[in-house]
């Protein structure tokens, strides 16, 4: 981004000159400036190509035939950029090596602070060195990122332990009256005798005062010891609480987070509790930290495993989506419906995934299934309508056939009557006509089916007509014989 202090460049030559000047230096340059220079160079380059193309077209050339001139500055520009890029890589390598050295120095500092925090006397005696070590630690520069949190936590722990011991030393110095008393007793012994009549009275006064100081001294240390023992019991109780945490029933993120909050509250409570006895303080701390670490390591492993399962489930859902989308346009209604129903069943059986991550996949999956089943439904409706139209046409055809049959039956009855009253020629013509009609009935009966509800009835009626026509033929034949 160009700012008020950014130099203005008006050509590629100026940009290249600046990049070469940076490459001639000893540093890798400012990354933001280098990115700006690269952007400007290719901006000018593209402007020149566009202008050249337009001039080529204006001169009568075809746009597709335009070939830009070779950029003679580009090799110089690339070489300078490559020099800066290589120099930056070397700087990053040196920085990483320096971080490793910083890590070694800080580990040495932590080890020294740990050694100094053994007794209140050591803490008081080494306080000046401790402050120097703190300063050195803070000025020690960055360490490899993967070790930074661990180093900082250990630094806080050892400093806290040192200050705890230092505080105890200060409290002990506040009771320097006891040391003064010892000194006074030594002086008492070194001072020469006093007058005999004053000797016993002075000694009794001195002894009584000494007894008061001794009792106070003992009471103070008894109180500290009792407090430290009580602190130890409190800390052991916290250890037992954390150690008693059962992670087996924890099956959701919410379950783990709820227990994590409880343990974090116990960690805050731990910090509010004073020191335990010196001989137990470090051991109980290690016990508490180990129990906490065990839980949070298990929590991290659970979250990692769940995320892996989620990713696996998402991949499986993605595969189901692709299968459903491949089937959505199929017109094999039965087989495809069964396949999609099976995919839907597999979808439901997959491990739960966060809605935010799976919603888009679900919408694709649902759209593919809906597209197929809507198409199948439309096909079924179209088929149903066609079948209904076919049945309606058949019913209409049967009706027409019935009407014609009835009309022909009536006509033949009239003919029979005429023939009975007529001569042999008429009988013969009637016989031929009925025979032809009978043949027609026998031929047409095959066109009738049971597709309609009235089909069987119509066939029965037609069959009866055929039988009736046969009887009529027999009667006419008999009359012909008699005539």
Confidence at residue 450, expressed as pLDDT on a 0 to 100 scale: 45
pLDDT (tens digit per residue) in 374-386? 888 888 888 888 8
Task: Please check whether residues 125 and 180 belong to one and the same domain.
Answer: no
Residue 4 confidence class, pLDDT cut points 50, 70, 90: very low
Is residue 108, in this structure, part of any structural domain at all?
Answer: yes
CA 63-66-69 angle, 5° bins = 150
Residue environment code for 454-475, b if the CB has 16+ CB neighbours within 10 A, otherwise e: beeebeebbeebbebbeebbeb
CA–CA separation, 353 vs 362, rounded Å? 11
Confidence at residue 111, expressed as pLDDT on a 0 to 100 scale: 87
Expressed as residue numbers, the domain containing 464 is 394-482
Is residue 61, in this structure, part of any structural domain at all?
Answer: yes
Task: Please check whether residues 15 and 53 belong to one and the same domain.
Answer: yes
Confidence at residue 150, expressed as pLDDT on a 0 to 100 scale: 81
Q: Which residue has the tokens 């069987």?
A: 456
Which region among 93-107, 271-285, 398-412, 438-452 has the lowest average model confidence (pLDDT)? 438-452
Element (H, E) at 131: helix 127-138
Task: Please check whether residues 91 and 233 belong to one and the same domain.
Answer: no
Is residue 50, in this structure, part of any structural domain at all?
Answer: yes
Task: Please check whether residues 2 and 146 belong to one and the same domain.
Answer: yes
Task: Please check whether residues 21 and 132 belong to one and the same domain.
Answer: yes
What are the residues whose beta carbons fall under 8 Å from the beta carbon of 344, sequence distance 6 or more?
A: 369
Q: Provide the 10 A C-beta neighbour count for residue 165.
A: 23
Domain count for the chain: 3
CA 100-106-112 angle, 5° bins = 145
Task: Please check whether residues 297 and 423 belong to one and the same domain.
Answer: no
Is residue 160, in this structure, part of any structural domain at all?
Answer: no
**Angle at which helices 12-23 and 74-116 pack, to 10 degrees?**
40
Is residue 343, in this structure, part of any structural domain at all?
Answer: no
Among 289, 310, 329, residue at a domain's last position: 329
CA–CA separation, 16 vs 21, rounded Å? 8
Task: Please check whether residues 209 and 247 belong to one and the same domain.
Answer: yes
Confidence at residue 240, expressed as pLDDT on a 0 to 100 scale: 94
Task: Please check whether residues 408 and 278 belong to one and the same domain.
Answer: no
* Closest alpha carbon to 219 in 179, 178, 186, 185: 178
Is residue 195, in this structure, part of any structural domain at all?
Answer: no
Is residue 59, in this structure, part of any structural domain at all?
Answer: yes
CA 320-324-326 angle, 5° bins = 115
Task: Please check whether residues 180 and 314 belong to one and the same domain.
Answer: yes
pLDDT at 454 exceeding the cut of 60: no
pLDDT (tens digit per residue) in 287-316? 999 999 999 889 888 888 888 888 888 888
Q: Are 328 and 371 in contact (CB under 8 A)?
A: yes
Task: Please check whether residues 291 and 247 belong to one and the same domain.
Answer: yes
* Closest alpha carbon to 347 in 380, 323, 331, 371: 323
Task: Please check whether residues 238 and 305 belong to one and the same domain.
Answer: yes
Confidence at residue 387, expressed as pLDDT on a 0 to 100 scale: 83
* Closest alpha carbon to 171 in 127, 123, 211, 120: 120
Is residue 370, in this structure, part of any structural domain at all?
Answer: no
Task: Please check whether residues 140 and 15 belong to one and the same domain.
Answer: yes
CA–CA separation, 430 vs 93, rounded Å? 121
Q: Are 242 and 288 in contact (CB under 8 A)?
A: yes
> Is residue 451 helix, strand or coil?
coil
């Amino acid at each position: 981004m160009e700012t008020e202090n950014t130099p203005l460049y008006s050509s590629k030559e100026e940009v290249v000159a600046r990049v070469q000047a940076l490459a001639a230096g000893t540093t890798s340059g400012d990354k933001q400036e280098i990115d700006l220079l690269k952007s400007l160079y290719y901006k000018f380059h593209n402007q020149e190509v566009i202008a050249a193309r337009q001039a080529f077209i204006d001169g009568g050339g075809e746009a597709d035939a335009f070939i830009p001139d070779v950029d003679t500055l580009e090799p110089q520009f690339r070489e300078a950029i490559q020099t800066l890029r290589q120099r930056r890589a070397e700087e990053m390598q040196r920085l990483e090596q320096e971080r490793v050295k910083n890590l070694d120095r800080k580990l040495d500092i932590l080890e020294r602070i740990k050694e100094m925090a053994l007794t209140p006397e050591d803490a008081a005696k080494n306080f000046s060195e401790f402050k120097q070590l703190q300063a050195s630690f803070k000025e020690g520069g960055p360490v490899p990122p993967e070790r930074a949190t661990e180093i900082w936590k250990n630094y806080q722990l050892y400093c806290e332990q040192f200050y705890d011991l230092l505080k105890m030393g200060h409290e002990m110095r506040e009771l320097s009256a006891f040391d003064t008393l010892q000194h006074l007793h030594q002086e008492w012994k070194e001072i020469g005798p006093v007058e005999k009549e004053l000797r016993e009275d002075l000694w009794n006064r001195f002894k009584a005062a000494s007894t008061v100081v001794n009792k106070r001294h003992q009471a103070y240390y008894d109180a500290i010891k009792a407090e430290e023992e009580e602190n130890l019991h409190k800390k052991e109780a916290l250890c037992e609480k954390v150690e008693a945490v059962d992670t087996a029933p924890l099956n959701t993120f919410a379950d783990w987070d709820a227990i994590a909050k409880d343990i974090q509250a116990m960690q805050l409570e731990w910090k509010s509790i004073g020191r335990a006895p010196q001989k137990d303080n470090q051991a109980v701390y290690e016990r508490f930290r180990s129990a906490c670490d065990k839980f949070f390591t298990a929590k991290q492993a659970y979250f990692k495993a769940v995320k892996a399962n989620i990713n696996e489930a998402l991949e499986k859902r993605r595969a189901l989506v692709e299968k459903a989308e491949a089937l959505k346009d199929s017109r094999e209604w039965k087989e495809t419906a069964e396949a999609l129903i099976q995919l839907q069943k597999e979808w439901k059986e997959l491990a739960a995934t966060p809605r935010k991550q799976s919603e888009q996949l679900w919408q694709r999956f649902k759209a593919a299934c809906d597209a197929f089943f809507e198409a199948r439904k439309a096909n079924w409706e179209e088929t149903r309508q066609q079948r209904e139209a076919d049945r309606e046409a058949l019913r209409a055809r049967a009706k027409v056939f019935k009407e014609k049959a009835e009309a022909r039956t009536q006509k033949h009855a009239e003919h029979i009557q005429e023939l009975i009253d007529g001569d042999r020629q008429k009988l013969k013509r009637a016989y031929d006509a009925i025979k032809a009609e009978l043949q027609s009935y026998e031929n047409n009966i095959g066109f009738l089916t049971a597709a309609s509800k009235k089909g069987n009835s119509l066939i029965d009626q037609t069959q009866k007509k055929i039988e009736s026509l046969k009887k009529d033929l027999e009667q006419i034949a008999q009359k012909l014989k008699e005539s």
